[in-house]
Every structure is written in C-alpha cells, then in structure tokens.
Structure 1
Amino acid sequence: MLFRKKKEKQPSNISMMDNKVNDDFVAEKVTKIKDEDVELVMDNEEAISQKLSNASPLRKYAELGKIMFAMLKDVKKGNYPNVPWFTIASIVVVLLYIFNPLDLVPDFIPGIGYIDDLAVLSIGMGWIETDLHKYLDWRLANGENA
C-alpha cells in the first residue's frame, strides 16, 4: 500500500445548502478510497487541473488543486512522510468528484452545475486544512516554491 491508513475521523458539522451533498456523503466516499483511486487522480492531473482553471466557479481553487497534487506527489515519492490516510483519501475524493462531470448536480447545468463540486471541496478542505498548511510550511522550510 502506498499510503498508511488512519483511523476514521468523525465528520464535522458543516451545514450545506444541498442536503444531498453533506459530510456523511463525503465521509462515506473517503472511507472507500483505495491506492488505485490515488493513481487514477495522478493519471488525470492535467484534466482535473484544466477543469479547475476553466470552470468559472472553480477557477479560484486552481492553485489549491496544484497544492493538493504536489502533496500527493511528495507523499508518493516518500519525500513528505507521515501524512494520515484520511488526508490523502480526502484529497482524492475531492479531486475525483470535481473531475466527474456527471455528479449529483451535473456540471453542464448552467448556473448551478458546480454547486455540489464547491460543497465537496469545502467539506474536504475543512477536514484537511491543517495538513495542507503543514505541507506548505514543510515546502517553505525545504526551499521549495510553494
């Protein structure tokens, strides 16, 4: 296994506008992530990054996506050890969900197609924000451009 698994974390109590997209939904998906899913995200990095950059509601999160990909790469290479599996799985769920055009609210619906993507991104970020900050601090301490 590429990454160590961590005990399941209790989902937070973030309230969501759409009751279909909530912590329980995302938590369920996170617990089902496997190493193959991590590889799927890595293989589709360019397409996911392009979607983040080209979709108006998601554009401001493009840089965040780059940081997530960089973290996954450093963990996979063994450069940045001791990342909880829950963090890796959360990143994978968020990126795969954004990549999927036919999710709970299909992306091609004008005006509301990205609401669920933003909700999943917000939930995931709420769970892993501390780990992303630690990663960025590590990159700065090691002289890498953040």
Structure 2
Amino acid sequence: MKVDLERLAEGYSHRQPSKALLARAARAISELQLGPASLVVDVGGGPGAHAAAFRASGARVSVVDPSPGMWERAGTSGAWVTGGRGESLPLRDDVADLVWFHLSLHHMKWIDAVTEAVRVCRPGGEVRIWTMGAAHFERSLMAQWFPS
C-alpha cells in the first residue's frame, strides 16, 4: 500500500500526540538516561511529536523523513530536520545514542532501514522499533482511518 505522506502530514496538523506515544518516548529517555550529550535519530519522524519529547530531555534530535510536509511540522520541535529515507540515513557511522522508529518502519524496506540504523548507532546505543507488518496494516483500522 503506497502512502501519500503529504496528505498524511496535513492530517497530523489536526492531531495531538497520544499519551502512549509520549510514554514510550519518556521511557526511552529514562532508560537510556538521555541528556544534552545524547543524539537521537527519529527515522520517519513525521511531524516531530517524539522529537519534541526527546528535545525536552535536552537531547539533540535529528528527524529524517522523506516528506517536505512533515519537515515543516517537525521543524517546530527544535530538532534538526533533514530529507531522507531510513534505507539511506544521511549520517556518519556510530553517532546516535538512540535510533527510533515509531510506526514508520512498515513504510520502508525494513532490512535496509534496520541495517542503516545499526550503522549510525554508536556502540552501547540502542535501536528501538514500534511497527506493524504490511498485511496487518492493510487489515487494520489505521488503514481505514488513514488510507493515504
């Protein structure tokens, strides 16, 4: 299923981040002790909801997303926003304390994206993924409510 990311970006301007979304970010901040020296890479970070939570901890955040509509929204989070895809992250090796995929990996060639995440993650850092398979997505209410 091809997703119209520009249309999806418009829809995000009418939604607030869920409590569950913010709780996942807070848990990562606490467990990894993220702070001013930390770099978080939010792959497919969309409008920057997670980025804002990570920035509030003092961490530096890079949102990588292919959608210009998402860049505009993510830019308000205080993160460094760049165009790109998870399969080819525009970052050096071993730089990230956390590489974060939240409901974005199923839009990518996941083996390539996870390989890239491991490449940019520093030794001792973590890659965290919340996703669903394409078949699950197509059968889910998400696809009915957000068919773009």
Return the TM-score normalized by structure 1: 0.26
Question: Whose strand proportion is higher, 1 or 2?
Answer: 2
- Greater fraction helix: 1
Structure showing greater relative contact order (alpha-carbon pairs closer than 8 Å, 6 or more residues apart): 1
Query: TM-score by structure 2 length?
Result: 0.26
